[in-house]
Amino acid sequence: TNAFDLDLYRSLSLAYGELERNRDLRCGVLFAHGAHFTGGIDLPQWAPRFAEGKFIEPAEGGMDPLALDENRTVSKPIVMAVQGWCLTIGLELLLATDIRVAADNTRFAQIEPKRGIYAIGGATVRLHQEIGWGNAMRYLLTSDEISASEALRLGLVQEVVPAGTQLARATDIANTIAAQAPLAVQATLRSARIARTLGAPAAIARLAPDMVPLLNSEDAKEGVQSFIERREGKFQGR
C-alpha cells in the first residue's frame, strides 16, 4: 500500500526543491504509482524521531512537502492526483497542495488515534480550514474514512474522476496553470496564503505593493499585447 518511509520523504523534498529552483517549472503535480497513494507512514522508521519531539527534516537542498516550514515551502502551485488508500501523511500532503483530483476509488483517513498518536503533519491545523470544524473533528477524532464522493462534497478535493484518469486530469489542470503568467500565479498564491495564515488585513496591506513588480514585468507587457492582438500570451516569467 505504498508505505511512506524516510527515503521517500527525503526524495519528495528534493523534487519539491527542483520545482522551486527551476525557472522552467511553473506548476507541480504530486501523484503516486500503484493502486494506492499511500497506506501511511512507515511508523517504525518515523517513531524514534517523533519520540525526540522532532519532525523529519527535508533533504539538503529540498523543500518541505508538508509546507510546515514557511521558509522551505514551495512558492509555486501544486496539483495532486490521488487514488486508492490515502492515509495519514497522504492526506496531510494533500492538505499542503493547492488543487486536488481524486479517483473515484479513493479513501482518505487520519488514523493516528488508532495507533496511540496524533497527526503532526498539518491535519489538525488545516483540515478544519478546508471542511469546517465539526466535519474535521468528525474524522480526526474517529479515524473514520472519507470516501471520494464525500471528499468532493466537503470541498477536500475539487474533482472526482474515474480511477486511472486522475493523473491525466491533474496534469491538464497543471498545464493550464503553467500557461498563465508565472509571476502573477505566484503572487496570487502568495496573497491567498497570507490571508489564510495571517488574516485578511495582512493580505490586503500587500495587494497594491505586490502589484508594482508585476506591472513592471515583461510578462505584464506581453499580457497587454496579447490582449490587443487577441491571442494567447507567451509568458517567460520575467
CA distance 81 to 33: 10
Across the beta sheet with 146-147, what order do the strands follow? 85-87, 107-109, 146-147
Residues 4-7: contacts with CB within 8 Å, 24+ apart? Answer: 4/38, 4/39, 4/40, 4/41, 4/42, 4/88, 4/89, 4/90, 5/41, 5/42, 5/45, 6/42, 6/45, 6/46, 6/56
Q: Which of 57, 92, 150, 159 is catalytic?
A: 92
Query: Among 108, 107, 112, 106, which residue's Cα sits nearest to residue 124?
Result: 112
- Whether residue 184 contacts residue 176, with contact meaning beta carbons closer than 8 Å, is answered with no
Choose, from 112, 150, 229, 232, the residue flagged as catalytic: 112
Please indicate whether residue 52 is annotated as part of the active site: no
Is 159 annotated as catalytic?
A: no
Torsion of CA 80, 97, 153, 87, to 10 degrees: 70
Beta strands in 70-174 (DSSP E): 78-82, 85-87, 99-103, 107-109, 146-147, 159-161
> Which residues are catalytic, by number?
92, 112
